């Protein structure tokens, strides 16, 4: 899978994309992630990519031409399944969307910044508008990092068996059950006996029961 991220702040993505599982996926050749600096498509030698909003108001708006040129450049090289724009007024990102996206070949993620991007770019090019939650970030870069991380770890082969995504929270519509490791007793708190029993069937029943209880208490909306 190839992910091209168009941004005015590529440095914000360097860290998240070059460590842990996302780095491993790239090293194994299972994901190719490219950062495109929007300033390479600036209108002038001052690096201009934004301008004041028509009609007034606070903040700057990313302009049509640099964005369109960056997107057209990419589209001339390959076909894209989706052009995603990160924005607080988009659909809220979730595990199902990450699952679906992990099956795509090529996607572009367009990071908003300042007050956002000219609406005509959304109309002309963007196929999905995604928010990572009901709060406002300075730019879409951190949202793009979160989406990329949640997508890439789902690409078949990226996670080893022992880290399987199938047991993650949300993957089966439930929160994950509690987990324990050694020691079997810590500050008077014991690991539930069933987990030490070696009885696989009982352990699976316990995990499911705990997952259901936890979901009922913390996220009843998931059970509807």
- Establish if 178 lies at the interface with ligand ADE (CB under 6 A): no
Q: How many other C-beta atoms can be found within 10 angstroms of the C-beta atom of residue 120?
A: 11
Closest CA to 40 of 4, 15, 88: 4
User: Quick one: tokens of 78?
Assistant: 């390959």
Q: Under a CB-based contact definition with an 8 Å cutoff, are residues 39 and 6 in contact?
A: no
Q: Please select the residue that binds ligand ADE; options are 131, 148, 150, 215, rule is CB under 6 A.
A: 131
Q: Decide whether 62 or 175 has the Cβ nearer to ligand ADE.
A: 62
Nearer to ligand ADE, 112 or 174 (CB): 112
Looking at the Cβ atoms of 63 and 174, the one nearer to ligand ADE is 63
| Phi, then psi, of 129 in degrees rounded to 5 | -115, 125
Q: Which residues 134-163 are close enough to bind ligand ADE by CB under 6 A?
A: 135-137, 140, 143
Which alpha helices (DSSP H) does the chain contain, by range?
A: 11-17, 20-27, 64-75, 95-101, 119-124, 141-152, 193-196, 200-218
Contact status: 9 vs ligand ADE (CB under 6 A)? no
Span interacting with ligand ADE, options 128-136, 182-190, 196-204, 214-222, rule CB under 6 A = 128-136
Residue count, binding to ligand ADE (CB under 6 A) = 12
Among 112, 152, 159, 210, binds ligand ADE (CB under 6 A): 112
Binding track over 78-97 against ligand ADE, x by CB under 6 A: --------xxx---------
**Sign, Cα dihedral of 70, 37, 158, 148:** negative
**Applying CB under 6 A, does 6 fall inside the site for ligand ADE?**
no
**Least distance from C-beta 59 to ligand ADE, angstroms?**
12
Nearest 10 degrees: CA dihedral of 67, 73, 79, 81? -20
Please give the helix or strand (H or E) that residue 37 lies within, else none. Answer: strand 32-37
Smallest distance, ligand ADE to C-beta of residue 150, A? 13
Kindly list the residues in this chain that would bind ligand ADE in the complex (CB under 6 A): 86-88, 112, 131-133, 135-137, 140, 143
């Amino acid at each position: 899978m190839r992910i091209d991220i168009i941004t005015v702040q590529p440095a914000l993505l360097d860290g998240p994309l070059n460590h842990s599982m996302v780095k491993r996926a790239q090293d194994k050749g299972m994901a190719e992630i490219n950062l495109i600096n929007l300033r390479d498509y600036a209108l002038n030698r001052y690096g201009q990519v934004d301008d004041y909003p028509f009609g007034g108001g606070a903040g700057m708006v990313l302009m049509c031409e640099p964005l369109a040129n960056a997107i057209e450049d990419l589209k001339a090289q390959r076909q894209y399944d989706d052009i995603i724009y990160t924005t607080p007024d988009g659909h809220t990102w979730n595990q199902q969307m990450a699952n679906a996206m992990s099956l795509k070949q090529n996607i572009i993620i367009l990071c908003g910044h300042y007050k956002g991007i000219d609406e005509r770019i959304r109309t002309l090019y963007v196929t999905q508008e995604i928010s990572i939650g009901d709060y406002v970030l300075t730019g879409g870069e951190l949202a793009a990092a979160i989406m990329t991380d949640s997508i890439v770890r789902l690409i078949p082969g990226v996670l080893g068996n022992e880290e399987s995504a199938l047991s993650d929270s949300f993957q089966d519509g439930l929160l994950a059950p509690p987990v324990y490791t050694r020691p079997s007793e810590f500050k008077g708190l014991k690991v539930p006996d069933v987990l030490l029993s070696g009885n696989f069937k009982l352990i699976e029943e316990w995990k499911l029961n705990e997952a259901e209880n936890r979901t009922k208490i913390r996220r009843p909306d998931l059970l509807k």
